């Protein structure tokens, strides 16, 4: 049964300050005093994507452990805000419309951009942050320079990797502490935790991610499951076949083989994902055909039994509530893998152009499958080997995935902490 897509969000919004939501699935540990009375006022910036934001949440628990009365603020893009807006440690959120700022610059509206950027900066300075931590590329957060923080920390991995820079950008000198490629450990979470070194704090032993959802989200998922004739307590598996990079997608026909095998052994499967975004005119050719494939529908169409498809039907937090009830999650290197680990749901993740030692969750119950290839891990959105055959993903077989799912589904159940 397919569910009607959720309503689209506004396309342009000014920056907005808002309080966090109260999660129903994790205990809350927020600042017990007002922002003005807080021992530290810390602003953290990572606008997206969802998985990257979740990999930054172990830093929040470490900061809260070290500074119980600190006021923690996180700036994220509106479309990724649900990854952090019910976090149990966050005291304030700043919603940011990245598309608006970029569109303003593309249209050469420099005076308007500058006027609004300066106004936003004045508001940040008024709030008196004393620590600013940026996980964005070096040349990205221009609008946030000069927020008035005495301690500024920058983690600059993304700029170096994607722009193939041979040196650090001069803009990194505007940070008191700047960490670049030569300083960075392989895993994204460990990179973010370098911020603790700059603050003179120890590295945490617990690197679990945190993800909250509300009672309203849980109720929406209960209705969704009831509509699809899944009774409360019934075992089901969540399959997320689509990622934002074509190179991270496992072939749809192999997902079909796995889902059909699970159905034969009596497991219900919920296929989740979003529709491809509208295709710009400038993106033509076979390479971009892969980028805009509707993998979710390809998987659903190939299944022998009618599937439960939740495409565009659940918000991010509702998906979290669904995953929290699932017996298992199967996905590529994408958000649902991190969500499962954060919610202590077993997962099987499929890695190709990226390496598990970079992005696989450092805590949680899961199995990361990967095969070494001469051209990888390339960390590229499009396959660049001579055959363009995505061999790193195709080397993962359905039988491997089914063995991993069987080992997790048949493991002794553990209590979620």
Over residues 241-253, the pLDDT tens digits come to 999 888 899 999 9
Residue 272 pLDDT > 90 = yes
Q: Are residues 222 and 117 in the same domain?
A: no
Residue 404 lies in a domain: yes
Over residues 278-301, the pLDDT tens digits come to 655 555 555 556 666 789 999 999
Enter the pTM of the model: 0.90
Residue 273 lies in a domain: yes
Q: Are residues 178 and 232 in the same domain?
A: no
Residue 315 pLDDT > 90 = yes
What is the tally of structural domains in the chain?
2
Mean local confidence (pLDDT), 56-78? 97
Q: Cα(1)–Cα(19) distance, rounded to whole angstroms?
A: 36
Q: Are residues 317 and 393 in the same domain?
A: yes
Categorize the per-residue pLDDT at 2 as very low, low, confident or very high, splitting at 50, 70 and 90: very low
Distances (CA, A) of 146 to 151, 180, 346: 11, 21, 43
Residue 179 lies in a domain: yes
Main-chain dihedrals φ then ψ at residue 239, nearest 5 degrees: -120, 125
Categorize the per-residue pLDDT at 93 as very low, low, confident or very high, splitting at 50, 70 and 90: very high
Q: Are residues 325 and 387 in the same domain?
A: yes
Q: Which helix (H) or strand (E) holds 72?
A: strand 71-77
Distances (CA, A) of 197 to 155, 177, 190, 203, 383: 12, 10, 11, 8, 37
What residues contact 102, with CB distance under 8 A and at least 6 apart?
none
Average pLDDT value for the chain:
87
| Residue 115: DSSP 8-state | H
Q: Are residues 257 and 405 in the same domain?
A: yes
Q: Which of 32-36, 144-148, 382-386 has the least mean pLDDT? A: 144-148
* Under 8 Å between Cβ of 62 and 199: no
Distances (CA, A) of 312 to 81, 195, 340: 17, 36, 19
Q: Which of 15-24, 75-84, 126-135, 382-391 has the least mean pLDDT? A: 382-391
Domain span at residue 333 reads 215-409
Residue 172 lies in a domain: yes
For the residues of 302-358, what is the DSSP string, one character each? H-SS--EEEES-S-HHHHHHHHHH-SEEEEESSHHHHHHHHTT--EEEE-SSS-HHH
Which of 388, 366, 398 has the alpha carbon at shortest distance from 252?
A: 398
Categorize the per-residue pLDDT at 208 as very low, low, confident or very high, splitting at 50, 70 and 90: very high
Return the pLDDT at 411.
81
CATH number of the domain to which 29 belongs? 3.40.50.2000
Residue 331 lies in a domain: yes
Residue 172 pLDDT > 90 = no
Mean local confidence (pLDDT), 162-166? 48
Q: Are residues 387 and 244 in the same domain?
A: yes
* Under 8 Å between Cβ of 158 and 59: no
Q: Are residues 21 and 109 in the same domain?
A: yes
Return the pLDDT at 183.
80
Final residue of a domain: which of 198, 231, 266? 198
More confident residue, 232 or 216: 216
| Residue 360: DSSP 8-state | S
Residue 4 lies in a domain: no
Mean local confidence (pLDDT), 152-167? 61
Q: Are residues 189 and 223 in the same domain?
A: no
Final residue of a domain: which of 198, 230, 247? 198
CA R_g for the chain: 22
Residue 366 lies in a domain: yes
Q: In what order do the strands lie in the sheet with 236-240?
A: 308-311, 268-273, 236-240, 328-332, 347-350, 366-369
Helix axes 252-264, 398-409, angle to 10 degrees: 40
Q: Cα(305)–Cα(119) distance, rounded to whole angstroms?
A: 56
Q: Are residues 251 and 385 in the same domain?
A: yes
């Amino acid at each position: 049964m397919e569910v009607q897509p959720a309503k689209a969000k506004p396309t342009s919004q000014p920056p907005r300050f808002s309080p966090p939501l109260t999660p129903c699935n994790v205990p809350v540990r927020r600042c017990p005093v007002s922002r003005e009375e807080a021992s530290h006022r810390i602003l953290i910036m990572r606008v997206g994507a969802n998985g990257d934001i979740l990999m930054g949440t172990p830093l929040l628990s470490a900061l809260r452990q070290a500074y119980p009365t600190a006021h923690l603020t996180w700036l994220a893009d509106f479309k990724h805000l649900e990854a952090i807006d019910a976090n149990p440690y966050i005291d304030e959120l700043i919603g940011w419309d990245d598309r608006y700022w970029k569109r303003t610059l593309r249209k050469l509206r420099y005076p308007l951009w500058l006027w609004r950027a300066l106004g936003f900066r004045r508001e940040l300075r008024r709030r008196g942050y004393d620590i600013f931590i940026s996980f964005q590329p070096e040349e990205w957060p221009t609008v946030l320079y000069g927020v008035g923080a005495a301690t500024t920390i920058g983690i600059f991995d993304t700029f170096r990797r994607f722009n193939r820079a041979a040196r650090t950008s001069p803009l990194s000198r505007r940070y008191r502490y700047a960490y670049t490629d030569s300083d960075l450990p392989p895993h994204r979470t460990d990179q973010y935790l370098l911020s603790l070194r700059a603050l003179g704090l120890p590295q945490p032993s617990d690197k679990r991610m945190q993800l909250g959802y509300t009672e309203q989200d849980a109720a929406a998922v209960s209705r969704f499951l009831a509509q699809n004739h899944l009774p409360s307590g019934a075992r089901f598996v969540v399959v997320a076949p689509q990622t934002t990079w074509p190179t991270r997608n496992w072939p749809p026909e192999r997902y079909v083989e796995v889902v059909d095998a699970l159905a034969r052994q009596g497991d219900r499967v919920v296929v989740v994902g979003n529709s491809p975004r509208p295709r710009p005119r400038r993106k033509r050719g076979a390479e971009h055909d892969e980028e805009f494939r509707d993998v979710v529908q390809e998987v659903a169409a190939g299944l022998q039994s009618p599937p439960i498809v939740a495409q565009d039907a659940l918000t991010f937090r509702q998906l979290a509530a669904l995953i929290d009830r699932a017996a298992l999650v199967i996905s590529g290197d994408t958000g649902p893998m991190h969500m499962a680990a954060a919610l202590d749901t077993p997962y099987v993740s499929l890695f190709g152009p990226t390496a598990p030692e970079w992005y696989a969750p450092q805590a949680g119950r899961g199995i990361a499958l990967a095969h070494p290839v001469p051209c990888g891990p390339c960390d590229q959105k499009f396959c660049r080997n001579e055959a363009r055959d995505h061999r790193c993903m195709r080397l993962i077989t359905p039988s491997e995935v089914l063995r991993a799912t069987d080992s997790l589904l048949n493991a002794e159940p553990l209590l979620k902490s």
